[in-house]
């Protein structure tokens, strides 16, 4: 990509973030094109009953994924925006730190190869020729110029219940006849961190970061029937404070169910 094209994307990204911040307050539709720097390339003892789960399927929180890096100078505004979203009950906001900036002066301590794989598959699904940071993905839909995505709780979803009991995270996925199948993912994350950056584009800065994904694991497949999973708490990353459970259409397409819970 030429320097002029990259500069245009940076300007567009910062403008988009400003618009998005206003859209959060109003719940209005927005264009998810937050592209800046580009690199080519649970109940206490028993899980809720199936009846309760089906009843709760009427609504689920929106899932916002931010692909970011400590080495990217255009990412801090996006991180701040994600921090605002963490205060909303109708949104699950997750920061996926990528690793492809690590060779450009600063190694992101939260970088995950799985985050790169996830972003690359979103790029493939949207027929994008490149990946970039910061990028926002809402409910599994990757934003492109002119794409309108609504940041609001989904009115219909696969119900998901998450609880912590007996030293394990218990997950139950309910039924919804409007959806056929998907993958069940558990995404442990660290609620908040402050990182001092020693080199690279953000050298000398202290970056405040939110809902930092620490791993991504597929628990299994959901085929429309009730599915239950038990995850030992000791198998979660040591620094994870919360988990999100996502039900995502096969092939990393639309997110059709989601829930989150603190585990520490």
pLDDT higher than threshold 50 for residue 39: no
Integer Cα distance of 264 and 144 in angstroms: 36
The answer to whether 140 and 249 have CB atoms below 8 angstroms apart is yes
Give 87-109 pLDDT, tens digit per residue: 999 999 999 999 999 999 899 99
> How would residue 59 be classed by pLDDT, with cut points 50, 70 and 90?
confident
Could you give the percent of the chain with pLDDT greater than 70? 75
Question: What's the pLDDT score for residue 49?
Answer: 41
Question: What's the pLDDT score for residue 148?
Answer: 54
pLDDT higher than threshold 80 for residue 16: no
Question: What's the pLDDT score for residue 150?
Answer: 66
Question: What's the pLDDT score for residue 152?
Answer: 82
> How would residue 70 be classed by pLDDT, with cut points 50, 70 and 90?
very high
Question: What's the pLDDT score for residue 17?
Answer: 52
Integer Cα distance of 145 and 164 in angstroms: 41
The answer to whether 113 and 18 have CB atoms below 8 angstroms apart is no
pLDDT higher than threshold 60 for residue 44: no
Question: What's the pLDDT score for residue 123?
Answer: 95
pLDDT higher than threshold 70 for residue 129: yes
Give 151-205 pLDDT, tens digit per residue: 788 889 999 999 999 999 999 999 999 999 999 999 999 999 999 999 999 999 9
Average predicted confidence (pLDDT) for the chain: 82
Integer Cα distance of 170 and 35 in angstroms: 36
Q: For residue 33, give both structure tokens.
A: 């094109």
Question: What's the pLDDT score for residue 51?
Answer: 44
> How would residue 56 be classed by pLDDT, with cut points 50, 70 and 90?
low
Question: How many other C-beta atoms are found inside a 10 Å radius of the C-beta of residue 221?
Answer: 12
pLDDT higher than threshold 50 for residue 46: no
What length is written for the chain? 264
Could you give the percent of the chain with pLDDT greater than 90? 70
Give 135-147 pLDDT, tens digit per residue: 999 999 875 444 5
Question: What's the pLDDT score for residue 38?
Answer: 39
């Amino acid at each position: 990509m030429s320097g002029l094209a990259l500069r245009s994307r940076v300007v567009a990204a910062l403008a988009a973030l400003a618009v998005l911040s206003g859209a959060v307050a109003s719940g209005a539709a927005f264009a998810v094109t937050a592209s800046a720097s580009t690199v080519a390339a649970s109940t206490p003892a028993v899980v809720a009953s199936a009846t309760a789960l089906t009843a709760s399927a009427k609504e689920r929180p929106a899932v916002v994924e931010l692909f970011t890096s400590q080495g990217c100078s255009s990412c801090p505004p996006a991180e701040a925006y994600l921090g605002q979203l963490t205060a909303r009950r109708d949104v699950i906001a997750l920061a996926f730190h990528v690793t492809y900036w690590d060779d450009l002066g600063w190694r992101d301590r939260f970088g995950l190869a799985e985050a790169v794989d996830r972003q690359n598959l979103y790029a493939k699904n949207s027929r994008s020729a490149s990946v970039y940071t910061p990028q926002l993905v809402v409910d599994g839909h990757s934003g492109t110029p002119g794409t309108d995505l609504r940041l609001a709780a989904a009115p219909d979803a696969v119900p998901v219940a998450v609880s912590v009991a007996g030293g394990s995270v218990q997950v139950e996925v309910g039924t919804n006849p409007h959806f056929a199948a998907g993958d069940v993912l558990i995404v442990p994350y660290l609620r908040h961190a402050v990182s001092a950056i020693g080199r690279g584009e953000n050298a000398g800065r202290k970056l405040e970061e939110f809902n930092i994904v620490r791993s991504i694991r597929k628990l299994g497949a959901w085929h429309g029937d009730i599915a239950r999973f038990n995850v030992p708490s000791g198998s979660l990353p040591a620094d994870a404070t919360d988990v999100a459970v996502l039900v995502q259409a096969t092939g990393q397409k639309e997110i059709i169910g989601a829930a989150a819970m603190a585990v520490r």
